[in-house]
Amino acid sequence: MKMAKPDHIPFIQTHRHSEATALFDDEQAVSYRALSEFIVQRRQQWLSYPLPERSIVMLTIENSITSVVDYLTALSLDWVMLLVNPSCDEEIRNQYCDAFKPNAVIQSGELTVCHCQQSEMDDDVSVLLSTSGSTGAGKCVALSKRNLVANAESILAYLPVETTDITLATMPLSYSYGLSVLHTHLIKGACTGFTAHTVFDKAFWARVKSLPVHSLAGVPSFYEMLLRLRFTHMALPDLRYFTQAGGRLSPENVEALGLYAKVHDKQFFVMYGQTEATARMAFLAPEKVLDKPDSIGQAIPGGQIELRSSNTQSSDEGELYYHGDNVMLGYAENNQQLASFTPEAWLATGDIARRDADGDLFIIGRTKRIIKVAGERVNLDALEQHYSDDDLQVRCIGKDNLVVLITLDKQLPALQEKLTTQSLLPARNVTAAAVETWPYLANGKPDYQQLASLVLNEQ
């Protein structure tokens, strides 16, 4: 299946000549027409290099107009793109280069050729997104254009994005949720803005009021900051709705935001997803937020969710499986793995959920030992390996934003020493603890639950 139509620009093809504003930053704004012209120009420029038809490129994607032009140009050329966050350090970039052997690297409109050999490429692979933060090596989620478009259309079927809407991107475009906000607004012909200001700058809120901004999207830490900044006391008459995903926001905070939305005639969408599903899998109907602040709601339009359990007949509790056109092609760790994919029909999310009588879902646990720290995925097993050596045995437990590294009593000083010299995570998110002896399960595996109750009770 060859997607490369000459001169076709994904997402914006139908309104590429529109004079409506597509993107803006702190200095300038560009219309859909201007954006399309930039893309056509850049495509001409990049086609002058002797790069293969299905090039793989490493694109450092900033929250900028230039980076969106880079991204849409590479998509329209049917290249395969590894999207890299601008804050990603040199060492990780080098690891990616070694693993994926990109034909070119692109940043801020500048393309640098690395080599011109065509690697064997799956027909559908289009975008590679990293799943790990600073703690892991680079396993990437491989997505097709069909994944990207299908998920954006599902989201547009339930989020009230309007053609005249303006949103302000507060998440990096290298992150699936941030990218989905861009995609939905581009398809709709609406407007996405970028700003260097953070929510802690007055200029940010001045922009929100004056543009005005009609929607906001963010991860739990974003909303925790907004609540701390008295977001619920702000008069933002033009803000119609706001969305939260990317991890669990506490029910108290969901309620506070839900109440604000209710009183001020806005909508608050609590959503659930994973990069493996392009971004979105479920959302809670905004009118249910106050009744069920701990629910992730139901599958998005076009998606199906099943709860699978090995030890009971019940379909109302078990691991959450998702099926839909947004389920990834698969994972890729290196160039060879891009040659072909065999996508799974159902995505095993690793989350354990239950379903209530209304069909709304609640996440109650995880099968995989993965937590989120400051918005990044952290694999507890990988951390254990990192801190353990021949003389020091370390086990690791955690909940979101707190990692506890545990060792035996007599080795605690050695662990603390290691923590100060080899810290992978912010100090406030890590603590060291010790136990007298290791608890084990009947099958001889470490009993992490007992370990958690031992060390967490002491704190």
Q: Which residues bind another protein (CB under 8 A)?
A: 198-202, 205, 221, 224-225, 228-231, 233-234, 374, 426-428
Residue 447 and residue 459: Cα distance in Å, rounded?
19
Residue 374 CB, shortest distance to another protein, in Å, is: 7
Cβ proximity to another protein: between 413 and 426 the closer is: 426
Residue whose C-alpha is closest to residue 367's, from 450, 307, 429, 278: 307
Cβ proximity to another protein: between 199 and 408 the closer is: 199
Residue 378 and residue 248: Cα distance in Å, rounded?
15
Number of CB atoms found within 10 A of residue 90's CB: 7
HEC profile of 342-398: CCCCEEEEEEEEEECCCCCEEEEEECCCEEEECCEEEEHHHHHHHHCECCECCEEEE
Residue 455 CB, shortest distance to another protein, in Å, is: 21
Cβ proximity to another protein: between 200 and 440 the closer is: 200
Residue 25 CB, shortest distance to another protein, in Å, is: 21
Q: How far is CA 248 from CA 227, 251, 257, in A?
A: 15, 9, 14
Place of tokens 């991107």: 169
Cβ proximity to another protein: between 34 and 402 the closer is: 402
Residue whose C-alpha is closest to residue 77's, from 11, 4, 148: 4
Cβ proximity to another protein: between 290 and 374 the closer is: 374
Residue 364 CB, shortest distance to another protein, in Å, is: 27
Name the burial class of residue 61, with classes exposed (0-12), middle (13-18) and buried (19+) by CB atoms within 10 angstroms of its CB.
Answer: buried
Residue 300 CB, shortest distance to another protein, in Å, is: 30
Residue 241 CB, shortest distance to another protein, in Å, is: 21
Cβ proximity to another protein: between 315 and 423 the closer is: 423
Return the structure tokens found at 2.
């060859």
Residue 218 CB, shortest distance to another protein, in Å, is: 13
Residue 262 and residue 268: Cα distance in Å, rounded?
9
- Chain length of the chain: 459
Cβ proximity to another protein: between 146 and 197 the closer is: 197
Cβ proximity to another protein: between 146 and 209 the closer is: 209
> What are φ and ψ of residue 175, in 5° steps?
-105, 135
Residue 371 and residue 368: Cα distance in Å, rounded?
9
Quick one: which H or E segment has residue 430? strand 430-435
Residue 431 CB, shortest distance to another protein, in Å, is: 12
Quick one: which H or E segment has residue 435? strand 430-435
Residue 129 CB, shortest distance to another protein, in Å, is: 24
**Sign of torsion, CA 160 162 165 168?**
positive
Cβ proximity to another protein: between 107 and 429 the closer is: 429
